[in-house]
C-alpha cells in the first residue's frame, strides 16, 4: 500500500500541470465547438479536467527515468541515465512468467501487485475517459487508444533507460478494455450522467 501511495504522490505534482493545460485549452475548445453550435457543459468539462490531470500524471510517471520523482521529492537532483540501457522484451508472457515465479518465491506481493494488476488498473481510466468523451464510443476504439498510448510510452522508455516490455503493452490494453467496461456500466446505471458528459447543442437544456 505504501508503494501505491508513493506512485500517487509522484503523479500529483504533474497532475497540477494537467490542470493548467486544461485551463489554457479551454478557450480554444469553446471556440471550436461554438462553430458547430455546440458547447461543453460542466459535466464534460469536469471529465476533461480529470482526463487532463490523469494523463499528465501518468506520462510524468512513465516517461521519466526510474527514481526520478522520488529523488526530486526528497530534494535531490535526479540522475539522468544514458539512453538505451534498459531491457527490451518482445516475447509475450516469457518475462512476466519468470518475474511472477521470482516474486512468489520471495513473497514480493507488493511487486506482484504493481507489475501485474497495477499495469492493468493504471490504464483503466483511459478506456473510461474515452467512453465518456468520445462522440461514438466503441470498445475497439478504447482498446486502440490505450494500445497506442502504451506503445508511445514503451518506445519512449528506451530513451530513459527503462524496461520496454510487450507484456506491459498487453496488460495496459486490457486495462483500457476494462475501462470501457466501466463506462458501459456507468451508462447503464446512470445514463443521464453520460449524456451530460457529451457535447451539448446550443439551445438544448
Range in 2-11, 106-115, 122-131, 166-175 the model is least confident about: 2-11
First vs last C-alpha separation in the chain = 44
Taking only the tens place, the pLDDT of each residue in 89-138 is: 999 998 899 999 999 999 998 888 888 999 999 999 999 999 999 999 99
Q: What is the pLDDT of residue 5?
A: 73
> Looking at the predicted structure, is the pLDDT value of residue 6 above 80?
no
Question: Among 28-42, 59-73, 184-198, which range has the highest average pLDDT?
Answer: 184-198
Q: How many CA atoms lie within 13 A of 66 on its CB side?
A: 10
User: Containing domain of residue 194, as a range?
Assistant: 2-201
Look at residue 69 in the predicted model and tell me its pLDDT. 83
Q: Which of 110, 106, 171, 163 is nearest to 143 (CA)?
A: 171
Taking the complete model, does pTM exceed 0.75, yes or no?
A: yes
Is the pLDDT score of 205 beyond 80?
no
Q: How high is the mean pLDDT of the chain?
A: 91
Number of domains within the chain: 1
pLDDT at 2: 62
Compute the distance between CA of residue 9 and CA of residue 76 in angstroms, rounded to an integer: 16
Whether 51 has a pLDDT exceeding 80, the answer reads yes
pLDDT grade, residue 198 (50/70/90)? very high
Amino acid at each position: 500500500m505504501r508503494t501505491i501511495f508513493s506512485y500517487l504522490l509522484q503523479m500529483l505534482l504533474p497532475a497540477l500541470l494537467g490542470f493548467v493545460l486544461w485551463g489554457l485549452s479551454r478557450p480554444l475548445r469553446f471556440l471550436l465547438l461554438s462553430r458547430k453550435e455546440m458547447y461543453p457543459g460542466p459535466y464534460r468539462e469536469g471529465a476533461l479536467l480529470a482526463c487532463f490531470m490523469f494523463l499528465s500524471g501518468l506520462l510524468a510517471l512513465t516517461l521519466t527515468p526510474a527514481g526520478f520523482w522520488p529523488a526530486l521529492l526528497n530534494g535531490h537532483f535526479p540522475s539522468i541515465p544514458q539512453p538505451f540501457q534498459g531491457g527490451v522484451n518482445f516475447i509475450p508472457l516469457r518475462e512476466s512468467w519468470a518475474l511472477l515465479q521470482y516474486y512468489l518465491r520471495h513473497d514480493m506481493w507488493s511487486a506482484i501487485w504493481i507489475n501485474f494488476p497495477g499495469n492493468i488498473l493504471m490504464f483503466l481510466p483511459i478506456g473510461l475517459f474515452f467512453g465518456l468523451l468520445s462522440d461514438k464510443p466503441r470498445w475497439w476504439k478504447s482498446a486502440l487508444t490505450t494500445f497506442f498510448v502504451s506503445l508511445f510510452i514503451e518506445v519512449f522508455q528506451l530513451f530513459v533507460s527503462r524496461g520496454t516490455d510487450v507484456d506491459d503493452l498487453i496488460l495496459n490494453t486490457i486495462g483500457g478494455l476494462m475501462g470501457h467496461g466501466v463506462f458501459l456500466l456507468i451508462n447503464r446505471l446512470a445514463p443521464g450522467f453520460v449524456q451530460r458528459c457529451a457535447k451539448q447543442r446550443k439551445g438544448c437544456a
